[in-house]
Amino acid sequence: MSTPLKAPRVIVCDDLHPAALEQFQAHGIEAEVCTGMDEAALIQAVPGANALVVRSATKITRPVLEAAGDLVVVGRAGVGVDNVDVAAATERGVVVMNTPTGNTTTTGELAIALLCSLARHVPQADRSTRGGNWKKKKLMGTEITGKVLGVIGLGRIGRVVAQRAMGLSMEVVAYDPYLSKAGLSKTGTEGGLEGIELLELDDLLQRSDFVSLHVPLTDETRGLLGAERLALMKDGARLINCARGGLVDEAALAIALDEGRLAGAALDVLEQEPPPEDHPLLDRENVILTPHLGASSHEAQRNVAVDVAEQIATFLEDDVARNAVNAPALPANMRRELAPYLLLAERMGSYLAQRMDQPIRKVEFTLAGEVANKDQVGALRLGFLVALLQRSMEGSVNFVNAPMLASERNMRILEDSEGSAGNYTNLIKARVSSQDGHETHVVSGTVFGNGPRFVRVDDLFVDLLPKGHLLLTRHTDQPGVLGQIGTLLGEESVNVSRVELGPHGAEREGQATAFFSLYDTPSEEAIERVRGLDAVHSARHIDLGA
């Protein structure tokens, strides 16, 4: 146990439930409440601060972190940490923690409430009655007893929804590509999830009377339910989305509702919030829209406030980090020493998660050189595993729950160490494979100065900065191809900062691979245009973070 900080300085940057301040006081901490600060004001306020507490309004940027020389922890009262520059915090050895369980029940119950409201036309009936009408025939509903609910994503919230639905005598089927039947069986008894049948996504859509989404928004899940998949849904089915806007093609959903193929939809989230006045779903009677109420309950707001205060106080007193999204509970000096290697491990996990097309079933993680002899090297493996899982999961993955989540997804995790790192002082190598090894990808990396580098990707030896947006192409090895790709990206207003090429083995003679480091996020249209070039065999966008 490390020596507790003397009179730690904690700044609460956003409005929190008063219970948070009471929790701090119980630990002898007088937190300062300074809300509504922009970046400039934060930079002036943070010197000398040991902890910052935020919700979603305040942004903790790299300049803010650089100004906070004594900062050791940032706590987010909620799940998402999009408003915190986690990479910059990791580089400086600052722990970022969230409160992933405080709003689980609230969000799951909202999905059930919207399901019931869809089934019985509750909002439409309310509007009609208030308008002076008393017409029941046009508001004929449907029972949910015996109906099939398809849950897409069996994370924390998805499981709450499944459990509540079974309590309402619904039949529940689920799709989660990262959860095996063995993994579901393992958790089913304790979680009250016996009887759930795992299906492929298309099969779930064809079978379900109601479909409820509970997955994160990633490059892989954006537009998950587009026109083609919406067309697979049963005639008269109803859709609920309390997860993230962007999972559903809203224009395609409007068409499906217009054509009468779907009976209704209830959305708590939209791709643009608030929606524009001409949004195609605003004027439809068979659509329920709510203003992102997933975590909006008195209980949830109190829970996340108490959780974040308790977590920060425990960390400041005992150096134990619960629900850390970027670092385990290590002594401060160890966190700073391992910070660049932890960032490297995270970028490797993120890259491989986006590189694989099939679910990962085997992970081999190897440390070589001096880093293999350091204490707490398990932190690097956990950092890699968290990033690997986070790309495909709803909610929080952290250093505490990552091994359990990997086990549920039937992943074998193998760890090894080697004394020699070859031409490098230190080297981290990771290999991931699908079932029976049908798909395998490898990445190796090291730290130059204080910055991570990829030095091998599959059979290519590279010097690649794992940061920002990458466009990975496989193309015919002939003059002019890189120029064609660069010109096309320029036409799409995507600026290229660097191109990295690597030599291929003999088995790929005539082919080449390029990594285009981009300043901007490439649109799907731009990527499709690259794929459409005659010499290009494949193109893939990979987002490695700021």
* Active-site residue list: 244, 273, 292
Quote the CA–CA distance of 525 and 485 in Å, as a whole number.
Answer: 13
Closest CA to 444 of 345, 540, 539, 371: 345
Structure tokens, 405 = 């989540």
How many beta carbons lie within 10 A of that of residue 488, not counting itself?
A: 16
Q: How far apart are CA 275 and CA 247, in angstroms?
A: 15
Residue labelled with tokens 């990527």: 527
| Gap between the Cα atoms of 19 and 191, Å rounded | 29
* H helical segments located in 77-155: 86-91, 104-120, 122-130
Q: How far apart are CA 433 and CA 355, in angstroms?
A: 11
Nearest CA-CA partner of 499 in 478, 537, 534, 473:
473
Torsional sign, CA 65, 71, 72, 76: negative
Q: DSSP string of 388-436? A: HHHTT-SS---TTTHHHHHHHTT-EEEEEEES--TTSSEEEEEEEE-GG
CB 392 within 8 Å of CB 178:
yes
Q: Compute the distance between CA of residue 238 and CA of residue 261 in angstroms, rounded to an integer.
A: 10
Q: What is the DSSP letter of 137?
A: G
Question: 3-class SS at 465?
Answer: coil
DSSP 68: -
H/E/C letters for each residue in 338-397?
A: HHHHHHHHHHHHHHHHHHCCCCCCEEEEEEEEHHHHCCCCHHHHHHHHHHHHHCCCCCCC
Both structure tokens of 185? 């069986």
Residue that is written with structure tokens 């987002």 in the block: 543
Alpha carbon distance, N-terminus to C-terminus of the chain: 33
Is 225:251 a contact under the CB 8 Å cutoff? no
Question: How many Cα atoms are found within 13 Å in the side-chain-facing hemisphere of 513?
Answer: 17
> Furthest-apart CA pair in the chain: how many Å?
81
